Amino acid sequence: MSRGLFITLEGGDGTGKSTQAELLREWLTAEGRTVVRTREPGGTDVGVEIRELVLHHRGDIDPRAEALLYAADRAHHVATLVRPALERGEVVVQDRYLDSSVAYQGAGRVLDPAEVRSLSEWATGGLLPDLTVLLDLDPGAARSRLDAARTRFDRLEAEASEFHERVRRAFLGLAAAEPDRFLVVDAAQPIDVIAERIRERVAALA
């Protein structure tokens, strides 16, 4: 693998995205690749401020305003961090990207998913990942993981179970529509089994 590679990890809260992103970073680094590990929102200084606003603002945020804030973060993130890294031939391993907006603001907030995706495509100049890993887990099981690990829940994590069910269905629908881009992994499996499946798929991108 010598070209730039853009890999995103998606899924509901509590599915293990951060764990798998770190394991993938370690493996790729051992393989000799330069890896940029990042996340949305919050992968840049501007993004940190937007993240605090969209995830921890006290009070409601209009769903369209929420979608626009995520898109603003994404536009700056791609322009200042992701594209430059890809142009240098590096691997970007990213926790969440536009599919999260389609699932959370589209299905979760009941906005038009096509409009939400179009907004992100405009914000990023149409940049899509080479691979999107969807860690799929029953929302009830994911919530149990969060309950065991967190003392503070953000605005999206705190939503009702029906919200998270809609988000899960949306993610699975996105994966079914783009099977060449997505790898769907059962996130209830052992961590090392999940990591091996991801490594196999990434190795095949060479």
* Count of structural domains, the chain: 1
Residue-range definition of the domain harbouring residue 69: 5-203
Could you give the count of Cα atoms lying within 13 Å of 159 in the half-sphere of its Cβ? 21
- Res. 156 pLDDT band, cuts 50 70 90: low
Give me the mean pLDDT over the 98-120 stretch: 91
pTM: 0.91
The structure tokens listed for 151 are: 């003392």
Check: CB of residue 57 under 8 Å from CB of residue 155. yes
CATH number at 177 reads 3.40.50.300
Please say if the pLDDT value at position 30 is more than 70.
yes
Q: What is the pLDDT of residue 151?
A: 57
Query: Looking at the DSSP assignment, which residues form a beta bridge with residue 94?
Result: 8, 38
